[in-house]
Structure 1
C-alpha cells in the first residue's frame, strides 16, 4: 500500500521510468511465452527449444539491469527522516524498492500474457484475435503451471537483484592490532575506496583472451548448420567463437569504469581551462556509477554490429531473412534497455552532484559553462568508446568472414 501511495505522488519522470520497466518486462514475457508455445507445439525439437530459451536470457538480463537502475534512482526509496520515525529504515526501504520493482515487472508480464493469448485467438472478441495464431502455435494448449512459472521469473529476479543491490552495507573495519602494540588504543583509519580504474587491466586482459580464443578456434571444425548454436560464416563456425565474443563483451563491461575515468584524466591533462577541468573532474567522480552501464551499452552495440555484418554477409536477397519478428523484438528490448539504463545512470550522476552545481552557480559560474562541460564530456566519451566498440566488433567477426 505504501508503494502504491508513493507511486501516486511521484514525479512524472519517475512514473515514466516505471512504465518503461513494465513495457520492457512485457516484451520479455512475450518472448518467454513464444518459447513455451514452440516447445509445446514441437515436443521433439528439444535443441531448437533450448536455443530459443537461451536467447531469451539476454533480454531478461537487460530488463533486470534496467529495473535495478530505475529502483536505485527512485526518490521514494531513499532514506527520509519521516520514514525512519515510523520504522522504515534502510532495510525496509530496500524491501520497498524490491516490491515496487516486482509490481512493475508483474504488470508487464500480465500485459504480455493478455496480448499473447489475444494474438493466438484464445480470448476472442477483437479484430486482432487469432491474427498471429500460426506464428505463435495457436493449435497447442499452454500448460498453465509452466506459463505462470515463466511469467514469474522476471519479477522474482528483478526484485531479488534490487533487494541485494540496495541493501545497507556496513563499513568494513580494519583488523584490531595485537595487544601491546604502540597504537593499540588509536582509532583505526577507514579503508580507502577501490579506485574506479582498478578494473581496467582486468577488462583489457579479458578482451584480449576473448579475441585470442576466437582466433584459436576460428579454424576448428564447424558443426552442422542445424546443430545447437551453429553460427554463420564463410565455411561455418565453431561454437567456441561465441565464448570468445562473450569474453570480449565481459571485458568491455569491466573496462567501462576505467575507460570513463581515464577519459576524465585525459580532459584534465596538461593545463586545462575551467570548462575542460570541470568536465574531467566530473567524469572521474562519476566513473564508477556511469562507466558500468556504458560498458554494457558498448558490449551490446558491438554484438549488434557483429551480428549485422555476419548475418548480412550470409543473407541472400532472394532467400529467407535470417532475422524473424521475434528476433527483432528481442534485439529491440535489449537495445532499449541498455540505452535507457545508461541514460538513467547519467541522470543519477547529475542528481548526485546537484549540491555541487548549486554551489558553483552561487559562486558566479555561468550556466553556459556547465552546459559546455556536459557537451565536452559527451564528446570525449563518444570519441573513445565508439571506435573501440567498432574495432571489437570487427575483430569479433574477422575469423568468420575471412
Structure 2
C-alpha cells in the first residue's frame, strides 16, 4: 500500500511526465501495429514490411529514452533517509520505478490498440469512410501472438532499461591518487614537521644531496604545497572526453552524404520505402547524428568556459560553472534534439520536390521522435535542477538574491540556444546540400 501511495501521491508535473511517456508509447505502438496491418494487406511485399518495421525502431528508441529520463526524475522513488527502515531500500525503489514505467507504457499500448481497432472498424463501423483501410488491413483477422508481441516491445524494453539504469550499486570507495608530500613541508597543526625544517634548509629534500636543485628541494625550501599539474582543475571534473572523435564522426558522416548526393535519391522518405541509392546517405546521416550526440557534452562544457571569459561577474561565473558541471547530464539530450532537428530539416528539403505527400504515418513518427526529444531535454533540465537543490539552498543561506539564481538559469539557456542553434542549422544545411543540387 505504501508503494501505491508513493506512486499516486505525486505532483501534477510528475503525473504529466508519466502521461507523456504513455502518449509516446501509444504513438509507437500504433506505428508497430500499422506495420502489422501493412504486412497482412501486402503479404508479397516482405521487404517493404521489414523496412517499415525497421523505421519504427527510431520512435521506439526515443520513447524508451524518454521513459528512462522520467524515471530518473521521479521524486517518489528517490532514496531518502528513513525509507530503508520501513522496507523501502534502493532495490525496492528501483522495482517501484520499473513498475511505474511498465504501467505508463502499457497504458499507452492499450490506447494504441484501441485506436487501431477503432480505425479498422472492429469496435464500430469504419470511420473516415474507410480511408485507413489500406494500411490497417481492415476486414482481416489480426494474429493475436503478433499483436501482443508488438505491443509488448516498448513496455518490455523501457522497463528493462529503467531497472538496469536504476539498479542499486554497491558503494565502493573511490580510489583517489595519493599526493606525496615531503615530510618537512610545514602544514597547519603538524608539530612533527617543526624539527625537520632545519634539516630541509641545510640539506635540501630528504634523500637528495645538500645543495641539489630539485623540484622537491625547492618545494621543501619554500614550505609550500606543490602546485597541481597543468591542465587539472580541482574544482572542476574536467571536460567530457571524446570530443575529437565525435567531430571526426560528424565530418565522416557529412562526407558520406556528399558522396551519396552525386546520385540524387527519389524523395520518398516515408515508412514505406527507402529512396533508391540512399544507403550511403542513411549511413552518413547516422554517423553525423551519433557524432553530434557525442560532441554535445564537450561543446556544452566549452560553452560554460566561454561564459566565464573576460573578467566574469557573479552572474556569468555562476552560469558558466553550472554549465560545466551539468555538461554530461544536459548535453546528451540536447545533442539528440539537435540531431532530430537537423534530420527534420533534411526531410523537409527532400519533400520540396514534387513527390508523394508526407503521409500520416510518417507525420506520426516524426511527431513522436521530435516530441520525445524535446520532452527528454526538459526532463533532463528538471533532473539538473533537482541535483542542484543543495547548492541553491547554500547560496540562499549565504544571502544570494533569488533574481541572481534565476538570471543565471536564464543565461545558461540563452547561451545554449545561441551556441547550438547556428551549429544545428549549419550541420542540417551541409547534410541537405547534396540533395538540393
Q: After TM superposition, give the deviation of residue 248 of structure 1 in Å.
A: 0.3
Residues 257 and 280, structure 2, Cα contact 8 Å, conserved in 1: yes
Asked if 1 retains the 8 angstrom alpha-carbon contact of 2:267 and 2:351, the reply is no
Go from structure 1 to structure 2 and tell me whether the alpha carbon gap of 1:221 and 1:299 turns closer, same or farther (over 3 Å shift): closer
Aligned to 1:121: 121
**Equivalent residue for 1:360?**
395
8 Å CA contact 1:68, 1:158 repeated in 2? yes
- The answer as to 2:250 corresponding to 1:215 is no
For residues 84-113 of structure 1, the C-alpha deviation after alignment (integer angstroms, 9 at most, x for no partner) is: 123332223222211210111011101110
Q: Distance in 1 between matches of 2:267 and 2:371?
A: 33
Q: Cα gap change, 1:208/1:122 in structure 2, threshold over 3 Å: closer, same or farther?
A: same
1:201 to 241, 244, 247: 244
| Counterparts of 2:25 and 2:143, CA distance in 1 | 21
Query: How do residues 45-64 of structure 1 correspond to structure 2 at under 5 angstroms?
Result: 45-64=45-64
Contact 1:118 1:128 in 2 (8 A): no
Distance 1:284 1:47, change over 3 A: same
Give the Cα separation in 1 of the matches to 2:138 and 2:323. Answer: 52
Matches for 1:349-388 after TM superposition, within 5 Å? 349-388=384-423
Contact kept, 8 Å, 1:118 with 1:130, in 2: the verdict is: no
Runs of 5+ consecutive residues of structure 1 not aligned to the other structure: 176-191
Distance 1:202 1:295, change over 3 A: same
In structure 2, the partner of 1:275 is 315
Corresponding position of 1:40? 40
1:330 aligns to what? 365
Decide whether aligned partners of structure 1 residues 222 and 280 sit closer, same or farther in structure 2, where only a CA change above 3 A counts. Answer: closer
Q: 2:6–2:77: 8 Å Cα contact kept in structure 1?
A: no
Deviation at 1:45, TM superposition (A): 0.9
Within 2, Cα distance between the matches of 1:342 and 1:80? 25
Quick one: distance in 1 between partners of 2:246 and 2:121? 49
- Say if 1:224 and 1:337 are closer, same or farther in 2 by CA, change over 3 A: closer
In structure 1, distance between residues paired with 2:403 and 2:366: 38
Deviation at 1:278, TM superposition (A): 0.8
> Distance between the aligned counterparts of 1:28 and 1:196, measured in 2?
36
Determine helix, strand or coil for the equivalent of 1:198.
Answer: coil
1:284 to 305, 324, 328: 324
State the alpha-carbon separation in 2 of the partners of residues 229 and 29 from structure 1: 20
CA contact (8 A) 2:48 2:273 kept: no
Q: TM-score, normalised by structure 2?
A: 0.80
The aligned residue for residue 180 of structure 1 is: none
Q: CA deviation at 1:161?
A: 0.7
Residue matched to 1:184: none
Which one of the candidate residues 410, 426, 429 is aligned to 1:391? 426
Compared with structure 1, are the counterparts of its residues 367 and 309 closer, same or farther at alpha carbon in structure 2 (3 Å cutoff)?
same
| CA distance in structure 2 between the aligned counterparts of 1:129 and 1:29, rounded to whole angstroms | 23
Q: Does 1:148 align with 2:148?
A: yes
Is the Cα–Cα contact under 8 Å of residues 41 and 139 in structure 1 kept in the other structure? no
Q: 1:380 to 1:400 in 2, by over 3 A?
A: same
Deviation at 1:229, TM superposition (A): 5.5
Mapped contact 1:121–1:129 kept (Cα < 8 A): no
Q: What are the Cα deviations for residues 311-338 of structure 1, in whole angstroms up to 9, with x where unaligned?
A: 22x2x2xx641x1011111111111111
> Structure 2: where are the runs of 5+ without partners?
177-233
CA RMSD of aligned residues (A): 2.8
